[in-house]
Chain A
């Protein structure tokens, strides 16, 4: 079946409310029954309830696949980086440690790395990924560019990330505010940052959540 090209994944971490619906929905998938691929963390639970949901960003040049000594990670023609091939993965942990976004999960007892493959069983036939279909705040959004432009007028999608000197472009888009206009997100700039304590009177992340 032809893949509908117009649908894209948009992620806006700042809208995440930490409800775990994505984690639950992900574990319902047939290809990895009962095991969730979503990485959902508290950024720093001691000062804030801020959570960060991370799905695979599907890099154009996937570091995980290139550092894999067993050639277990493959990228499909339509740019989806698939989970490790079961007969090949030797559970060496290279991908887990090399992924700049911290996506792959290692299951040592099974000798197998498993990671988000953007619900390939669903998206390859035009359905939404499990996580995006249940996300109540639409931090994880799957749809067309027109839809996201209409729904989020004060932000726009980008897909370039800077890690030190390395630039990574991805299939999955990250929503960033229109002002100041940026072409990429420099991740290293948040090295010495911590979430602001919740007592702050005005939290821009909450303000962003109410945008319609």
Chain B
């Protein structure tokens, strides 16, 4: 354990140093660094350490470590590299950008997550470069109404500050706050009204992140309201309040639900693993002789289970390891094993020894995840 902790600590430290170095370079030795934002920078640096530490610890767990390694191996496999690269773009678009799998869970959940996610992405892509001094605006000499945007200290495009484009850009955080807030409200509504959610949710896991996002958005919007309509009323106080909310959110990043942002992209690796697995040799159930997954997956699980201290070996048999039996046969064997015990007590015959290959057990219900009524269940679910 000690070694893993030290390694994760070193990784966290290196990541933090790299970010600090990039801030120095990007802001041209802090020339464009806004001193008022130093507390933000400090909290982001802390979050970077925390996130890298947790991520590294996570990657060192046996199942994660093996998936991580295999994920890269199957991606870089010469035979599939071209197709994998094409699929990478597809998965990033469908899974990450469009959240298609969440829309599959329910449309409302999909919309909710989509709004929160994009609101946060827009906000972060505006604020982080500003805070680090990577992005700043200067008025063009001689043209007081024209602004020029500098990225990493390099001049880029210019625009009239009073134009619609200027208005949209300078209020970018307002738009992102409104998008995030809509999502947060939808999520809150679900958590307060739905009995299924009520049964499982925890305050720290499920409500706190929403409350934090809400607080950040509302205090941010209050700043705009203060200087636009209230002649800067209570601006300093609101600014500090907003800073506190944002800093708490950053400090919370490595610990709570927000960590899924960093963990989640692993599902793309899983997709490659499955894609290649389907095209390579399958694992055949050693009871019913039917393919049930990829050979690679069974072999990897045997390694993982051994590392975790499990001992599913069945020595002296042709099966060798319980992992070589398909899940359906495992369920059937449970029934047969219990039936055999009854047979010993009550006599008669509940099961017989066979020398041929038994057929694969079949689902009684019509399909995976469906009740006897089929799809009607999901569609006609009573409120």
Contacts and interface: CB of A to CB of B under 8 A. Distances in A.
B322 A30 contact: no
DSSP class of B's interface residues: helix, strand, loop or mixed? Answer: helix
A107 B331 contact: no
A132 interface: no
Given A43-B361, A110-B101, A67 B305 contact: yes
Contact of B361 (A34, A41, A109): A41
A121 B195 contact: yes
A178 to B, nearest CB: 7
B232 interface: no
Interface in A176-212: 176-180, 182, 185-197, 200-205, 207-208
Interface string B292-333: 010001100100110010111111010101110011111111
B364 to A, nearest CB: 4
Contact of B334 (A13, A71, A202): A13
B269 to A, nearest CB: 8
B136 to A, nearest CB: 35
B348 A204 contact: yes
B340 A190 contact: yes
A205 B343 CA distance: 8
B358 A163 contact: no
A190 B353 CA distance: 8
18 contacts: A14-B339, A20-B365, A24-B371, A26-B371, A34-B379, A35-B369, A36-B369, A41-B332, A42-B363, A50-B339, A50-B350, A87-B257, A98-B304, A99-B327, A121-B196, A177-B344, A188-B322, A195-B336
Interface of B: 58, 61, 63-64, 66-67, 95, 101, 104-105, 194-196, 198-200, 257, 260, 263-264, 266-267, 270, 273-274, 287, 293, 297-298, 301, 304-305, 308, 310-315, 317, 319, 321-323, 326-355, 358-359, 361-365, 368-373, 377-379, 381
Interface of A: 12-14, 16, 18, 20, 23-24, 26-27, 29-36, 38-46, 50-52, 54, 63, 66-71, 82, 86-88, 90-94, 96-102, 105, 107, 109-112, 114, 120-121, 124, 154, 163-166, 174-180, 182, 185-197, 200-205, 207-208
